Amino acid sequence: MSDTSTPDRTPGEEPRLTTRRPTRRRTRHPRHVLAALPLAVAGLLALMISGNALRPFERITTIDGKMASKSDFFKDPEVQRLLLRHGIRVEIHRLGSRGIATQSLRGMDVVFPSGQPAAKLILQRQQRSVRTARPFVTPLVLGTFRDYAKTLVARGVARPQKAAGGGDTLYYDLDMHAFLKLIEEERTWNDVGFRDHSRRSNGGRVLVRTSSVCESNAAGTYLSILAFVKNGNQAPGTERTKGAERPASGDPVLGVAARVKPLINL
């Protein structure tokens, strides 16, 4: 484009030519798009880091299962991530082991009862061919705080297990004979030296709290351990039942039950 409109130009002066650059039109994006862009980038990075970037395009198999305490394992984020990597998602229907054994299992792919008695009852009720496996073997564990565990160790009732890597252990072996003696003698935690291992005082009795033995497999297992120990490390209900107080009925098993009942705190 030429620009010749110069009124101050003197006669005979050569006209000046100016070339104008084309103006660029700035593209405007809606504000909500700009606001969501960082979130989209962050989400993409998270998918790439976790290895799930292509997950929406893969086939996912959903497994429905009834389970009790094992549901905590399948709810763990790391477990869920690893299962998704293999194309598996677990839908959890939480129920106690006894409930799993007695209620309908229609529509379920797997069940995880927490004990052998419940597992046997489930197998007996099935009218179709099923496969069994034991992916989990869990010991019975009593949970407490470290101050109480150290008190029992100092008392000679518990023994710490070796920790991997050397630090403080999280697990201890409990001498059930010595532990039950503290319960039967109605000792308090202060009696057994709790204040030597804590800044607090606890005049409460040494005891174990469990869920109902009629509903919980773990509580029922703890009850069986009490009966085994109180019967001289022998299973009650056999000819080997010894040292049991015989009630009026003359049944030694009822004698063991009478001695165990005060040890259960529901």
CATH topology of domain 58-125: D-Maltodextrin-Binding Protein; domain 2 (3.40.190)
206-218: average pLDDT: 81
Q: Which residue has the higher pLDDT, 69 or 42?
A: 69
Rounded to two decimals, the pTM is 0.59
Residue intervals of the chain classified under CATH 3.40.190.10 are: 58-125
What is the DSSP annotation of 73-141? HHT-HHHHHHHHHTTEEEEEEE--HHHHHHS--TT-SEEE-SSHHHHHHHHHH--S-------------
Question: Could you tell me the pLDDT band of residue 266, with boundaries at 50, 70 and 90?
Answer: very low
The pLDDT tens digits for 173-201 are 999 999 999 999 999 999 999 999 998 99
Least confident of 56-60, 115-119, 150-154: 56-60
**Mean per-residue pLDDT of the chain:** 78
pLDDT at 123 (0 to 100): 85
In this structure, the strands spanning 158-160 and 61-67 are unpaired
**Percent of the chain with pLDDT strictly greater than 70:** 72
